[in-house]
Amino acid sequence: RFPHSLHQDILWASCVQECALQWSADKEQTDKLVSALDHLRHIHCIGLQHGLAFLLWKTYFKDKISSVVVLMEKVGKAPKDRLCRKTVEMSCEALEQFLLVVKQLLELLAQVWTPVDLGHPVDHGHPVDVKNVLYAPLSMLEEALDQPTSYVPLVRLHITLVSVMWLIMGLELKSVRPLTLFDSTTKGAFLKDLSSNPPIPSGATDETILQSRKKFLCKAMSMLTSAQASKQMTGTSPAHPESTDWLKVVLALADQLEVDADPLRCHYVQELYSTGLDSAGKEVLMSVNDKQGLAGKLLVIVGQRLAHTLDSSESTTSVTQLSRLPTHISRWIKQQSPIKLACRDVPIQRTAELLSTILPLLPSGSNNCTLATELSEATQSLYR
């Protein structure tokens, strides 16, 4: 009864339910889910917050996630808009936002009960006396407070699955099926009741699974690079909102999938330089641990760029330029394949800058260091 119906947590809970109902009526209104999650975060009573999150998953999200998994497994890529609308009643854009909200909801579930999982007491906040509430949705409050404790390791597995699907939608990845990134035990745990305790893998992950995960994440890095290149050319990129830091998303997912992030960063830097995004490549290069190994790979990109420069020159000019180079350098350049570059028309000055970046990273006196030094001199002679 009044004033208990104006209890802060009860008001927030009512807002959560109302927003969820509005989304259920029109699933394109994913902003309602964002609002529901925002209201949910404001609830002080942890028991009520957890119960509502649990109910949202069980009532609205679980079946949709199951449908999305089946759909992506069937088509092996980010589904087209028409198929999304037909299968899950959402457009591609709405589905991407939906997956993000579900991921955040599951993260909230995991955070709320982590202290219990670790054996520490939890402050449940101010208790909510639902019996004195006349106008609040009584059954919803009672049901929320009556929900079982979620099993955090199982929740985290679902966070990883949803994150994979969100990445597939966000970067429009192709030739990928989300369940191939998990072993049979994990697959069996997916979409079980979040309060249950099914078998969950422990110990080292199978090497085949790890390779599949690495391939998937490298593909994501490549698509991210393509999106950046497209944005640079057109000035806009509606499919990849600036508010999402996809690099951060990929690296966080790598941690969840137990994949070493450093080779992914190396791959990303190579892709950036191959696409001609040298400034971005140089920035990410600073965060790579294996700079020496990466420098050797970037040296190949230098050779590919120089090969294209010589190939695209007029025949007489090309012969003259090659004649200025040491024989072993011109031979090495000819052996490189510029066709592998995503962007070949890069100014020679930028290639010279790349060489300047590479040189300090190579071991002094090594073959690569000697080659890089000679290539640096060669780039100067090409346009004297």
Q: How far apart are CA 258 and CA 216, in angstroms?
A: 13
pLDDT, residue 271, reads 97
Looking at the whole model, is its pTM more than 0.75? yes
Instruction: Quickly tell me which residue has 């990273």 as its tokens.
Output: 361
Which of 10-24, 107-121, 146-160 has the weakest average pLDDT? 107-121
CB 88 within 8 A of CB 71: yes
pLDDT tens for 90-124 read 999 999 999 999 999 999 999 865 544 433 334 44
Closest CA to 127 of 10, 265, 280, 42: 10
Closest CA to 218 of 256, 169, 170, 253: 253
What percent of the chain has pLDDT above 90? 66
Q: Judging by beta carbons within 10 Å of its beta carbon (0-12, 13-18, 19+), is residue 280 exposed, middle or buried?
A: buried
Domain ranges of the chain: 4-113+138-196, 290-383
pLDDT tens for 215-245 read 999 999 999 999 988 887 766 544 444 568 9
H helices of the chain, in order, are 8-25, 30-41, 46-56, 62-75, 81-88, 92-117, 138-145, 152-170, 184-189, 207-234, 246-256, 261-274, 278-285, 291-312, 315-324, 327-335, 348-358, 367-382
Which of 232-241, 286-295, 341-350 has the weakest average pLDDT? 232-241
